[in-house]
Amino acid sequence: MRPPPHILVVNGIKVRRPVFVLAAPHSGADLLGRALKRSPGFHVTIGRAAVAHVVYAFARRPSITRRGLGAVRVLRDAMAESWQILPGACGECPAVCREAGGVTGTGPCAAAGAVARFGDASPDLLYSAPVLLQAFPDARFVQVIRDGRDVAADMMADPAALSWFKPVRVSDDTEFPNPFLGVKSAEHIDRWKAMPTPGKCALRWRGAVRLAAELHRELPRDQLLTLRYEELVASPAETVETLSRFLETRVSKVALYGRNVPKVGAWRTRLRPDDAALVEKVAREELARLGYR
């Protein structure tokens, strides 16, 4: 007999239909996280340590996500800890989370009595999506897809993103296939180590959008919404209206305006011709499938 669904209660509030934002690095998850975080009734966290530790453990060792209720319980507990509304809680949040909420002190950034929905837009949450669905069967997922060439250009300017490409990050217990690195087999790891940074960025993006495609095939339409970064930047009001209908609640539009958002197509001036050619070679199939010409 199937066990009854677990009901998570945080701050005296039942967690119902939580929202999780999924994307490859530098694909716009932070923009949507900001919009949700500033929307009435939402308590959204971004990059809290409790969640980040679990997310990256799952990303580096995908087999952990297949360990049944153990993985589910760990991730659910991490989310519950992250969503706690306590005095000084925002002092433990990374800068991106505090900035998204407009927090200048230690918080908390939300009042428990005003919270109706929870969510998380932590980086690389995509790799935990199957476990999130088991932990929260009624969850809503929002995917953001961006041109892999623009993603590579932004990753190459981000020391935190580049730190994952250091050879020391690959150890004897690294598992393959590894969507996080974009490497299919241990036999390819030497080629990965020798590959220039733009190629590694392309592999990371390629692995992420392949996972996104799997989710698109597996999840019902009422639980998954896929958005284009390019549409979000060009028409934020229309995109937010689509998001609001999907979540059946009002999402803030104001949060998306007046920010220094990376331009669409900036890779043409930011990537050297050889680097752009390598990115396009590595990610050719996915770029074409998603309509990025």
Q: What CA–CA distance (Å, rounded) separates 54 from 34?
A: 22
Kindly give the pairing relationship between strand 19-23 and strand 9-10: unpaired
> Residue 4 pLDDT > 70, yes or no?
no
CA dihedral sign of residues 184, 136, 256, 98: negative
pTM of the model: 0.93
Q: Which tens digits make up the pLDDT trace of 207-265? A: 999 999 999 999 988 999 999 999 999 999 999 999 999 999 999 888 787 667 888 99
Domain range annotation of the chain: 16-146+220-262, 149-218+263-293
Q: What CA–CA distance (Å, rounded) separates 71 from 86?
A: 26
Mean pLDDT across the chain: 90
**pLDDT band of 293, cuts 50, 70, 90:** confident
CATH of domain 16-146+220-262: 3.40.50.300
User: Span 145-173, mean pLDDT?
Assistant: 91
Greatest mean pLDDT range, 13-27, 53-67, 182-196, 257-271: 13-27
Q: What CA–CA distance (Å, rounded) separates 256 from 28?
A: 11
